[in-house]
Amino acid sequence: MLSRYLTRARPLQRSTSRPFSSTNPNMVKVLAVLYRGGQAAQEEPRLLGTIENQLGLADWLKKEGHELVVTDDKEGSSSEFQKHLADTEILITTPFHPGYLTADLIDKAKNLKLCVTAGVGSDHIDLNAANTKKITVAEVSGSNVVSVAEHVVMSILLLVRNFVPAHEQIVSDDWNVAQIARNAYDLEGKVVGTVGCGRIGYRVLQRLQGFNCKDLLWFDYTDLPPDAEKAINARRVKDLEEMVSKCDVVTINCPLHEKTRGLFNDDLISKMKPGSWLVNTARGAICDRAAVKRALESGHLRGYAGDVWDVQPAPKDHPWRHAFNPLGGGNGMVPHYSGTTLDAQKRYADGTKEIIRRYLAGEDQDLANLIVFDGDYASKAYGQREKNANKPTGQKGAG
Ligand code: NAI
């Protein structure tokens, strides 16, 4: 039944659409859009996700006779990304410095067969357009979910405990306990809810077990296996507004898709408990940037934290850089790095190589990595669709 969704990459034969190389007729052009690491990447070779260290793919692809182009230049029609896309067969992108693959660009990428997301989250690709063109989109599922779950727990704590302003006092040679303590709380006894209970959301709830929260809640259209649900002692709430109205802390852990873009707007935020905290490490565009700023500045939100922005890199004047609650705190924003720890980079670099290796060898892909395949969604994590009701979503439970 599921075999229909196993990708059989086309055999390693010279396709008519592939650019001809006299030295290697099977030569494949691979384009990778990664972030610039600069001095840090030269000093730290484990920064694999950078243009300098090229996901560790360069020697292997060269030895196999393929072409690898790596760039961080991704915006506009004269960017290296758009120039090379025209004859690229395999595109590697990363959510940390997203090469936005729009429907227009997909239309121009006549040779494109496979998009690999080095990490998790393929919303920077127009997935509907990829389906139309039968381009396979694969992620390295699970590669950085622990990294993000840890960051979520850290962000919850730093907001609830008012950590950032306290630390800022120290580095600015100040000392005012009351000014910090007036807005610092314990996580114990609070209600925490996750929007999305897939790999990351589930792991967040797992990691919160020791904090004696009053209630752990989750909202997702996908069921958890009964044993996994029991193991985290959390309660499912079937209505999102109802869940957010009960929470002291809401953490967002679902993908960005048609139904989640702008989900946290003025209306939904107004349903949240006054003085609650919101953590978003999923995707910036799930939250309305102006609505978050308004809610934070009014004090309706006591804090907002995360590492994802609605455009990346975030411009200097992005409102989330300088939005604070009325007491001058509540901002836990950082650049997009929660899923790109050195541990995570090794996992998603290895996973990217494996996806490409299977494609080149004509082997089936791991079902868990497929997002779109053969003109259809291969995962049900990117929105509820009748046709994909029986497809896999985030690996539930501790697996
Ligand atoms: P997953 O696919 O394991 O789980 C996602 C869950 O969200 C699924 O259970 C799905 O049913 C649910 N979902 C989808 N739409 C929903 C909606 N409207 N309401 C409630 N639930 C909904 O994905 P995983 O690994 O947990 O990752 C989730 C997202 O986290 C990724 O798509 C990505 O956007 C983000 N992420 C961020 C990273 C970072 O560095 N900040 C790194 C990795 C992922």
**pLDDT digit string (tens) for 154-175?**
999 999 999 999 999 999 999 9
Q: How confident is the model at residue 26 (pLDDT cuts 50, 70, 90)?
A: confident
Kindly state the tokens that stand for 204.
Answer: 């967040």
Residue 3 has a pLDDT of 31
Residue 24 has a pLDDT of 65
Q: How confident is the model at residue 11 (pLDDT cuts 50, 70, 90)?
A: very low
Lowest mean pLDDT of 22-26, 87-91, 174-178, 255-259, name the range: 22-26
7 — phi, psi (to 5°)? -80, 125
State the residue for tokens 């924003």: 333
Q: Indicate whether 289 pLDDT > 60.
A: yes
CB-ligand 1 contact for 254 (6 Å cutoff)? yes
Residue 1 has a pLDDT of 29
Q: What is the pLDDT of residues 49-65, one digit of tens each?
A: 999 999 999 999 999 99
Among 84, 97, 151, 283, the one annotated catalytic: 283
Among 82, 131, 144, 365, the one annotated catalytic: 144
| Average per-residue pLDDT for the chain | 92
- Tell me which of 139, 206, 254, 258 to substitute to probe ligand 1's pocket, judged by most ligand atoms within 8 Å of the beta carbon: 254
Residue 393 has a pLDDT of 58
Q: How confident is the model at residue 10 (pLDDT cuts 50, 70, 90)?
A: very low
Per the annotation, the verdict on 209 as an active-site residue is no
Q: Indicate whether 8 pLDDT > 50.
A: no
Residue 6 has a pLDDT of 33
Instruction: Tell me, in angstroms, the distance from the centre of ligand 1 to residue 16's CA.
Output: 38
Counting atoms of ligand 1 from 1, which one is nearest the CA of 393?
2
What is the spatial distance between Cα 244 and Cα 280, in angstroms, rounded to a whole number?
14
Per the annotation, the verdict on 336 as an active-site residue is yes
Phi-psi region of 187 (alpha: psi -120 to 50; beta: other; left: phi over 0): alpha
Q: Indicate whether 2 pLDDT > 70.
A: no
Residue 385 has a pLDDT of 79
Q: Round to the nearest angstrom and report the end-to-end CA distance of the chain.
A: 22
Q: How confident is the model at residue 398 (pLDDT cuts 50, 70, 90)?
A: very low
CB-ligand 1 contact for 127 (6 Å cutoff)? no
Closest alpha carbon to 201 in 188, 214, 219: 219
Instruction: Tell me, in angstroms, the distance from the centre of ligand 1 to residue 86's CA.
Output: 31
Q: Indicate whether 302 pLDDT > 70.
A: yes
According to DSSP, the residues that pair with 93 across neighbouring strands are: 33, 117
Contact assessment for residue 165 and residue 328, using Cβ atoms and an 8 Å cutoff: yes
What is the spatial distance between Cα 63 and Cα 158, in angstroms, rounded to a whole number?
47
CB-ligand 1 contact for 252 (6 Å cutoff)? no
Nearest protein Cα to ligand 1, atom 32: 255
Kindly state the tokens that stand for 62.
Answer: 């060269």
Closest alpha carbon to 194 in 244, 154, 233, 230: 244
What is the spatial distance between Cα 257 and Cα 241, in angstroms, rounded to a whole number?
19
DSSP letter (8 states) at residue 388: G
Q: What is the pLDDT of residues 381-394, one digit of tens each?
A: 999 876 655 565 55
Per the annotation, the verdict on 283 as an active-site residue is yes
Contact assessment for residue 336 and residue 312, using Cβ atoms and an 8 Å cutoff: yes
Q: How confident is the model at residue 4 (pLDDT cuts 50, 70, 90)?
A: very low
Burial (CB count <10 Å: 0-12, 13-18, 19+), residue 186: exposed
Closest alpha carbon to 303 in 101, 155, 83: 155
Kindly state the tokens that stand for 262.
Answer: 């702008």
Torsion, Cα of 325, 326, 329, 335 (10° steps): 40
Span 40-46, average pLDDT: 97
Q: Check the CA dihedral 159-163-168-174 and report its sign.
A: positive
Q: Indicate whether 304 pLDDT > 60.
A: yes
Residue 19 has a pLDDT of 43
Span 342-362, average pLDDT: 98
The continuous run of DSSP H or E covering 347 comes out as: helix 342-361
Closest alpha carbon to 120 in 392, 378, 371: 371
CB-ligand 1 contact for 381 (6 Å cutoff)? yes
Q: Indicate whether 7 pLDDT > 50.
A: no
Q: How confident is the model at residue 229 (pLDDT cuts 50, 70, 90)?
A: very high
Kindly state the tokens that stand for 128.
Answer: 């509907």
